[in-house]
Structure 1
C-alpha cells in the first residue's frame, strides 16, 4: 500500500512538472536592437583572445545587456559599448557605420581630419598620441608620440570613447579643431588650433643618397609611415627603383609609424627576409601559429631600421622580425608596445566590430605588449619635425649613416660608433 502511494505521488509530481512545462509562456521574440546586441556578443564569445573575458561571466553580461532599454539603434550602440567596456580592452570596440566607413577609407585611400593616430592607455585611461601622420596638420603642429590629448574643442577626452575622440578630430577640409595637449617631454599644456585637411595615404618616401664624401657608395633611405593597403606595392616599387639605381645599403625609417594592416606588415617583411619566421601568433587556446618569409627578398644589402616610441603594432612586427633574424640593426628609442592583433567583423547594419583575437610574439618569442622592442642601440627620444628628419641634425639617422660608413657596408650587427652607445 505504501509502495502504491509512492507511485501515485510520483505520477502527480510528474503531471505537475509536465503541466508547468507545457503551460510555460513562449519566449518573446528579440527586437532588432536586441538581435544586434546578441550578434556582437556571439562574435566576441567565439573570437576574443581572453577566454575569461577579463574574468567576467560573459553569459550573464549578455543577459544584463538584453534587459537594457533599447528603443532605437543609437541606444543599442550605447548598450553594446557598455558591454564591451567590461573587457577593459580599448582595442575591442564598436565602429558605428560612419566610423567603420571612415576606417575602411583610411586604410585604402584618403580621409579628412588632422592626421593623428591615437590610443587610450588601458591603465590610466588617458587619450594619447601614437604618432602623427607625415605631412598632416598634427605633424605641423608638433604633436609627438605619447603626448596626452586632454580635450577636443573643450570636451574632456576622459568622457569620450576612442572612436568618439577620432570622430571629433575629423571634419570638413578647412574647418578648425582645438586640441589641448600635454607634452610627454616636459608636461607643459598647450592649446593647439589645427585646421583640418585632406589626409592622403602615401605611405612610402624613398631617396638615394651618397653615403660619404670619400666614396661613391649609395644608401637608400626609405620612410614608411603607415601599413595601408597600398604600402606593400609602394615599398616594392621603391626598393626595385633604389636597387636599379645602385643602392649599396638601406636605412628604413619606421619612426612614428603607428601600424595598420597586419598583412601589409607581413608582406613587407618578406621583401627583406628569406626563409625565416616573421611573427608568431597565439590565440585564446594558446595555439601557436606563424607567418613565414619565403624566397622573395628583393635585397640582402646591409640594413639599419630606425624606431621610436611612435613605432607601433605592424611596425613592431616588422622591426622585431628584422632584429630577431639578425637581418637589421635597430637604432632609436624603445617602441610603443602594442602586441595585440585585431580582426574586423562586418555587422548586419553596416557597423563594424574590432575584436582582439590574438597576441603576437617576435621570432625569438618575445611578447612586446606594453613593453615594446628595445633597439640594439638606444638614442635619447627626440622630437621629429619635417626640417630635422633624415638630416645631419637627426641623431638616429646620423648614427645609422655613421655605422654604415664605419662598417664599410659589411652586413654586421656587432658594433656602432662609441658615441651612439649612450
Structure 2
C-alpha cells in the first residue's frame, strides 16, 4: 500500500516485503510522543476515534462501538506494547484485513519509497479473510521472488520451516525481512503441492513503466507494461505514450498483469491518458457520499487498445481496467482480476505508529462493485504452468509473441487496428 497526496490508498495487500525509507511530513513523530508513551490509553482512544469517524462500515461489523471504547479504556496498560496488543485486538472486531495498526517500526517499513532502492525479496502478501492463510498477491518484477518463480495466489505455509498457521501478517513480514545478502526459505503451496524457495534478500529498483515496439503485418504495436501505480507512474506513462506516438505505433497493448495497485490519483491520471470523456471511478463513503473522478478531454491517443489482466491485477489496476472496459475503450484479455474495491486512509498516530483505515469503496463507471468479485476479462486466456515457467525463465519473452496472452491480445487488436486505419482522417497514420 502507498499513501497518496490525499492520504488515500489503493492496494491489494497491507504489506510489501521490503525495507524502505519513509518520506513525507506525515511520518514525523508527534511532539506528544512522550505523552502517549506515558498514557497508552490516549493512543487507544485516538485509534478508536479515527475508526468512529471514518470507518466505511457504520455498523462496525455489527459491534457496539461505544461499548468497545469503554471496554478497552477501562483496562490498565503497563506500557505501549500492551496498548498495541489491545488496539490490534480491538480492530480484529471489525473483521477487515485492510484496517490495521502498525507500531512505529512497522509503520516506517510499510511505506514504499518509489523514488529509491528497496531491499527485500520482492513479494506482496495479504491474509485471506476466510482461510486466514498468507497469500501472495504478486511478485514484483526483477526481484528474487519473481526470478525464483513465486506466483500470484501462492500460499505461504512455512517461513524458514516455521508454520504460518495462525501467524499474524506483521509477524510473517518480520520473519521474511532481513539484511541484503541473507537468505530466507519460503514453503509455497500451489495446487496442494508444497515447494521450498530459498531467496536471497537484495536491493530492488522498481521502474513502474516499461515499453517496446512489436512489428506486425498491420504496423507497429506499442507494448506498455505498468508494474505499479506509483507517484512516478503517471509521468512515465505520459512520456512513454508520447514517445510511441512519435514512432508511429498503430495500436497498444497495456499489460497490468501482477500489478497490485498503488496510488488512487495515479490510476485516475493514467486513465485520463486513454479516456477522453466520462466518469473514471466513483468513491462512496459510509454516508453514501459519492465523489466522482472524470476524464478531462485530454486523452493522449484514441488508437486501439487491449489490456492484459490476471489474478494479480488489483485495486488501482482494477480502477483503470474497469474504466477502460466500461467505456468500451479497450478489451480485457487474460484472467479475472484480484477483486479489491476498497480505499484506505493511512494516518500517523501520536507516538509514531500508524493506522490504515478502510474509509470508502470504489465503483467502476457503470457502478460495478468489484470487491471480492474481480473484473472478468472480455476474452479469457489462462497461462499453463509451463507457460508461466517459460516466461519467468526468460523474461524477455514477456510482452512478445512468445507470450500466449500477448499473442491473443494481438489477435484481438489486429482487426481493430485495421478498422481504425480505414476511419476518416486516420489513413495518413497507416504504416506501410
TM-score normalised according to structure 2 size: 0.84
Out of 207, 210, 218, the position equivalent to 2:215 is 210
Residue 341 of structure 1 and its aligned partner are, at CA, apart by: 0.7
Distance 1:307 1:30, change over 3 A: closer
Out of 61, 65, 70, the position equivalent to 1:63 is 70
Separation in 1, partners of 2:75, 2:223: 55
Match of 2:426 in 1: none
- 2:405 match: secondary structure: helix
**What pairs up with 1:33-48 in 2 under 5 angstroms?**
33-48=40-55
Separation in 1, partners of 2:342, 2:355: 15
- 1:252 match: secondary structure: strand
Out of 161, 172, 183, the position equivalent to 1:176 is 183
Match of 1:21 in 2: none
Distance 1:155 1:135, change over 3 A: same
- 1:271 match: secondary structure: helix
Residue 30 of structure 1 and its aligned partner are, at CA, apart by: 11
- 1:190 match: secondary structure: strand
Out of 80, 93, 97, the position equivalent to 1:90 is 97
Separation in 2, partners of 1:335, 1:117: 16
Separation in 2, partners of 1:168, 1:247: 47
Distance 1:264 1:63, change over 3 A: same
Separation in 2, partners of 1:241, 1:292: 25
Separation in 2, partners of 1:82, 1:173: 33
Match of 1:277 in 2: 279
Match of 1:200 in 2: 205
1:249 aligns with 2:251: yes
Separation in 2, partners of 1:103, 1:283: 25
- 1:50 match: secondary structure: coil
Residue 336 of structure 1 and its aligned partner are, at CA, apart by: 0.5
- Paired residues of 1:100 and 1:352 also in contact (CA < 8 A): yes
Distance 1:190 1:276, change over 3 A: same
Taking only aligned residues, the RMSD between alpha carbons, in angstroms, comes to 1.9
Match of 2:84 in 1: 77
Separation in 2, partners of 1:109, 1:276: 35
Residue 124 of structure 1 and its aligned partner are, at CA, apart by: 1.2
Return 5+ residue gaps in structure 1 as ranges.
Answer: 1-28, 413-422
Distance 1:76 1:155, change over 3 A: farther
Out of 139, 142, 148, the position equivalent to 2:146 is 139
Separation in 2, partners of 1:162, 1:370: 19
Separation in 2, partners of 1:99, 1:239: 37
Deviations 1:259-280 (A, max 9, x none): 1111111111111111211111
Separation in 2, partners of 1:345, 1:155: 32
Deviations 1:330-364 (A, max 9, x none): 00000010011111111111211110001111111
Separation in 2, partners of 1:53, 1:312: 25
- The structure with higher relative contact order (CA 8 Å, sep 6+) is 2
**What pairs up with 1:368-407 in 2 under 5 angstroms?**
368-382=370-384, 383=388, 385=392, 386-407=395-416
- Paired residues of 1:102 and 1:111 also in contact (CA < 8 A): no
Structure (1 or 2) with the larger CA radius of gyration = 1
Deviations 1:136-175 (A, max 9, x none): 1111111111110112223332333223322322221111
Residue 116 of structure 1 and its aligned partner are, at CA, apart by: 0.4
TM-score normalised according to structure 1 size: 0.86
- Paired residues of 2:214 and 2:400 also in contact (CA < 8 A): no
Separation in 1, partners of 2:151, 2:37: 47
- 1:192 match: secondary structure: strand
